[in-house]
Structure 1
Amino acid sequence: MMDHEKVNILLVDDQPAKLLAYEVILKELGENLAAATSGREALEYLLKNEVAVILVDVCMPELDGFELAAMIREHPRFQKTAMIFISAIQVSDLDRLRGYEMGAVDYVPVPVIPEVLRAKIRVFAELYRKTRQLERFNAELEDRVRARTAELEQSNARLLESEQRRSLALAAGRMGSWDWDWVNGDWMWDEGQYRIFGVDPETFAVTPASVQALLHSDDIDELRKAMAQFNKGAKSYEAEFRITRPDGEVRWCVGTAAATIDRGGRVMRVSGVTVDITERKRAEERQNLLAREVDHRAKNALALAQSIVRLTRSENVKDYIQAVEGRINALARVHTVLSLSNWQGAEMGRLVDEELAPYSTGDQIAFGGSNVRLQPATAQTLALALHELVTNSAKYGALSAVSGRISINWWIEADFLRMLWEERDGPVVQKPLSRGFGTRSVIASIESQLGGQAEFDWRPEGLVCRLSVPLTRDAATGPLNSHPNFVINGNGAELTSRSADA
């Protein structure tokens, strides 16, 4: 296959208009473009033709892109065929991992940028063309190595030139290639290989010792064993390994190598390709970490819900159900806010909005304040405190009257979150003779859980509550009942007899 020979590129999409658009974009590449409107048509074409690159839509009826890729990879002829997915939706890290496991080499988002799509297709088409050319050159060299030394030297020159062009295509795909003369020990790296290992081709001498110095110490023995297998008749190998760049950065790679054998069965050369898979590895680590974090948070949430159900008391079943449902719904709302940030924290404004939304009618509630992100444990505890305040207001305070108003403001002061809750224009307020369950709940959650302070001012025109929460102190992450002086009781939380407020 010479440089000017065309290769087949298969376009798979269930929408004819999109297929036509891809054909227009890729026409200037000068390759053979074939279209298929379904996975079945694509498989029929593949069985009859050699294909360099497959461009496939992820979302299709009957067979989607992932299923089609899996079926293609099951056929021995297409196990190394380059497949590029086109997705009109935002794909997650998990979807990308699934695509790469199915055999995808890249993703292209919609709307498609023509220059980017042409560049990606051109890279893999050229890689396919040069790979086939390299295979033919190697076969010719094996047939002529003993009788025609002069011709072998010319072929080697063409091979090196081809390798240089192929290196450009490999580098564009975060890949590098290398060649090792098994007889005299000479090495050759392309530009992509130098880039992956983080070394300067002008100053770095490729020798067994210098390469070994860049390999991770835990992986050297396995790579030595793999290379030794060539002397025992092995023709190829594939392995994942780590490298340590001169600047100390550790990168994950996958390497494939194949041996060139003469007619006597002796290894003459070993050629290979290295692919940097660090991002894929990091994505796998993030996925595992997220799974463990979700498990941890779910257990905490279940423990807290269990405490609420077990410790809530009421005079009748209806009030009991209402109290339990209110607290669990408050937890559910803050859990949603935290989930949207992958449990990195909760924005104060979003938290207040979610907890007060069930009671917000007309213009009775107004709130605002500094842009502050709360730690998960702080957000959960503050959410329960807000729930108790608003439910108490709905029963006895400003929200129990149409004319009542509530304003909530917060700000940061000396590493503390200060929050001011003010009620007005509701029923006339009288200072209670003793603290109710709701009051004790807020005090217990803020002071016992977060090490903060809660103050209540029972003015005739309405309740004023001031909350102060430290932002630099590590709050407890366990359920509310984990504090030795804090339990949930009746319609609120209260301190046990071991507390000074008992």
Structure 2
Amino acid sequence: MDHEKVNILLVDDQPAKLLAYEVILKELGENLAVATSGREALEYLLKNEVAVILVDVCMPELDGFELAAMIREHPRFQKTAMIFISAIQVSDLDRLRGYEMGAVDYVPVPVVPEVLRAKIKVFAELYRKTRQLERLNAELEDRVHARTAELENSNAKLVESEQRRSMALAAGKMGSWDWDWVNGDWMWDEGQYRIFGVDPRSFEVTSENIKKLLHPDDLERLRKAVSHFERGTHAYETEFRIVRPDGEERWCVGTAAASVDRTGRVVRVSGVTIDITERKRAEDRQNLLAREVDHRAKNALALAQSIVRLTRGATLKEYIQAVEGRISALARVHTILSLSNWQGAEIGRLVDEEISPYSTGEQIELYGPELQLEPATAQTLALAVHELVTNSAKYGALSSHSGRLKIRWEVRPDLLQIFWEERDGPLVQTPISRGFGTRSVIASIESQLGGRADFDWRAEGLICRLSVPLGKDFPAGQINLHAGFNGSGREPLLRSAGAAE
């Protein structure tokens, strides 16, 4: 690189002088080019890079000054070194004119070889060093551009990664934070502000302000986390609650990791907060559901146990039929309750389901307002209706085609009354003792629901009145007094079981 040859252009109209210049400058080891006129010199310059131009001032057609002016007009040669050789005495004005034309030096004739060689060598070396510096600058610029491109690419990837992280944190209801252990400064990301329900433009993240958002019952738990880091723990995880400024309580799980210096002293703690409120609520609902299922299963088993224990039958077949009938009645009301997610059962549908196996033609009519019964009341009332309709099918109005049954109900303050009226069936005689069905109805209504069951054994048909307390807190909104009307237009009608609609 240091011995790279450069081009030196010698311009003179006399071949002898050109030959003399070549001999003098040959020792420099550079590329020597000759031109016998200004035109030849310009042609060479347009095709080659030149370090130094040695030009005679006095030439025909185009003298040295004119040639220098034309060379300087070209952008490539505005800084090219030009040395004038003059065989005549040069005045100061001539020198000034030469410098204005771009000359860097003058050499008088006769030429002193050592002086000429020294001057050419200086400018040739200067040109060489300048070109080396330009190449180095170009390489440096290329490296800078390449490095800048790498940094821009890395920064773009970092921004993209941060965007993905932010999206992942937002999708997972997560937030990240950083706490300078030494000076107490905090830094929250957007997700952290969102979880705590505060505005990043107005909320100042300080230990004191954060403390105000924590649930009072969980402050001690978080103090323990801080003490763990003071004792050398590097990671910690705990669940805690926050209370947003609007009063909403949220459950969170926090994971934190500590950074330490060379002495093992904590200098920074960073962590992630995850909003697990929905998960907590789901767990609470699941636990509640499990307890409710357990409670209902126990109730169902207790009812089934009572049915098995209290059922009587003259034969094994009668006993099996009685048990199956009562279990089926319980199953039917369970189906109704499950369709409402165990919120309750409509009395009209409940009664209709229990009497549907016995409804033929227009024997049975149902009257009364829509009413939503509590699950426990619905189960017990279903068994009572089952006993009444079973007895009617065996011994009462439903045991003959001419028999008729009217079931109506009405709601009074805190009380549901159901009226069971049979007629046109077999002649009814007052029983000497209460049968199992009657005892079962009385036990269901009076013992389990705290109500009352009254029986009137008239010859033309049984009349039974069931009174069931609804409780003082029974919601009035569960009663619809305008469910429909029968043909006479006098009473609310739910439907006529078995009748053509």
TM-score (norm: length of structure 2):
0.55
Mapped contact 2:179–2:187 kept (Cα < 8 A): yes
SS in structure 1 at match of 2:426: coil
Mapped contact 1:256–1:274 kept (Cα < 8 A): yes
Question: Shift of the alpha carbon at 1:278?
Answer: 1.2
**Equivalents in 1 of 2:244, 2:303: separation in Å?**
47
The equivalent of 1:107 in structure 2 is none
The equivalent of 1:409 in structure 2 is 408
Question: Shift of the alpha carbon at 1:315?
Answer: 2.8
**Equivalents in 2 of 1:419, 1:288: separation in Å?**
37
The equivalent of 2:395 in structure 1 is 396
SS in structure 2 at match of 1:184: coil
The equivalent of 2:469 in structure 1 is 470
Structure 2 matches for 1:327-366, cutoff 5 A?
Answer: 327-366=326-365
Question: Shift of the alpha carbon at 1:391?
Answer: 0.3
User: Alignment length, in residue pairs?
Assistant: 320
What one-letter code is carried by the residue in structure 1 that aligns with 2:368?
G
What one-letter code is carried by the residue in structure 1 that aligns with 2:175?
G
SS in structure 2 at match of 1:238: strand
**Equivalents in 1 of 2:349, 2:464: separation in Å?**
20
Structure 2 matches for 1:228-247, cutoff 5 A?
Answer: 236-247=235-246
**Equivalents in 1 of 2:243, 2:159: separation in Å?**
28
Mapped contact 2:414–2:472 kept (Cα < 8 A): no
**Equivalents in 1 of 2:346, 2:417: separation in Å?**
15
Question: Shift of the alpha carbon at 1:390?
Answer: 0.5
The equivalent of 1:18 in structure 2 is none
Deviations 1:252-271 (A, max 9, x none): 11223345667887765443
What one-letter code is carried by the residue in structure 2 that aligns with 1:446?
I
Structure 1 residues 163 and 185: CA distance shift in structure 2, 3 A: farther
The equivalent of 1:71 in structure 2 is none
Mapped contact 2:455–2:464 kept (Cα < 8 A): yes
What one-letter code is carried by the residue in structure 2 that aligns with 1:388?
E
Mapped contact 1:168–1:191 kept (Cα < 8 A): no
Deviations 1:430-472 (A, max 9, x none): 4445544433432332233323233334445433322221100
The equivalent of 1:279 in structure 2 is 278
Structure 1 residues 289 and 431: CA distance shift in structure 2, 3 A: same
Mapped contact 2:307–2:323 kept (Cα < 8 A): yes
Deviations 1:281-334 (A, max 9, x none): 111112112212222232233233223323333333222222233223323333
The equivalent of 2:291 in structure 1 is 292
The equivalent of 1:185 in structure 2 is 184
Mapped contact 1:168–1:192 kept (Cα < 8 A): no
Structure 1 residues 362 and 180: CA distance shift in structure 2, 3 A: farther
The equivalent of 2:438 in structure 1 is 439
The equivalent of 2:255 in structure 1 is 256
Structure 2 matches for 1:61-100, cutoff 5 A?
Answer: none
SS in structure 2 at match of 1:315: coil
SS in structure 2 at match of 1:411: strand
What one-letter code is carried by the residue in structure 2 that aligns with 1:198?
G
**Equivalents in 1 of 2:367, 2:459: separation in Å?**
24
**Equivalents in 2 of 1:414, 1:453: separation in Å?**
16
Identity rate of aligned residues, in percent?
A: 76
Structure 1 residues 370 and 425: CA distance shift in structure 2, 3 A: same
**Equivalents in 2 of 1:310, 1:169: separation in Å?**
61
**Equivalents in 2 of 1:474, 1:441: separation in Å?**
28
Deviations 1:378-417 (A, max 9, x none): 2222112101110011101222123433332323222211
**Equivalents in 2 of 1:362, 1:170: separation in Å?**
66
What one-letter code is carried by the residue in structure 2 that aligns with 1:462?
G
The equivalent of 1:386 in structure 2 is 385
Any stretches of 5+ residues in structure 1 without a counterpart? 1-154, 476-502
Structure 1 residues 226 and 160: CA distance shift in structure 2, 3 A: farther
TM-score (norm: length of structure 1):
0.55
The equivalent of 1:14 in structure 2 is none
The equivalent of 1:324 in structure 2 is 323
Structure 2 matches for 1:186-201, cutoff 5 A?
Answer: 186-201=185-200
**Equivalents in 2 of 1:467, 1:354: separation in Å?**
18
Structure 2 matches for 1:167-186, cutoff 5 A?
Answer: 167=166, 170-171=169-170, 173-186=172-185
The equivalent of 1:311 in structure 2 is 310
Deviates more, 1:279-288 or 1:222-231: 222-231
What one-letter code is carried by the residue in structure 2 that aligns with 1:323?
A
Task: Tell me how large the CA RMSD over aligned residues is.
Answer: 3.7
Structure 1 residues 178 and 301: CA distance shift in structure 2, 3 A: same
What one-letter code is carried by the residue in structure 1 that aligns with 2:322?
A
**Equivalents in 2 of 1:246, 1:266: separation in Å?**
35
What one-letter code is carried by the residue in structure 2 that aligns with 1:450?
L
Structure 1 residues 195 and 424: CA distance shift in structure 2, 3 A: farther
Q: Does 1:452 align with 2:458?
A: no
**Equivalents in 1 of 2:440, 2:172: separation in Å?**
59
Deviates more, 1:369-378 or 1:230-239: 230-239
The equivalent of 1:376 in structure 2 is 375
Structure 1 residues 310 and 474: CA distance shift in structure 2, 3 A: farther
Q: Computing the radius of gyration over CA atoms, which structure comes out larger, 1 or 2? A: 2
Question: Shift of the alpha carbon at 1:170?
Answer: 3.5
Question: Shift of the alpha carbon at 1:419?
Answer: 1.7
Mapped contact 1:409–1:419 kept (Cα < 8 A): yes
What one-letter code is carried by the residue in structure 2 that aligns with 1:316?
T
**Equivalents in 2 of 1:391, 1:183: separation in Å?**
83
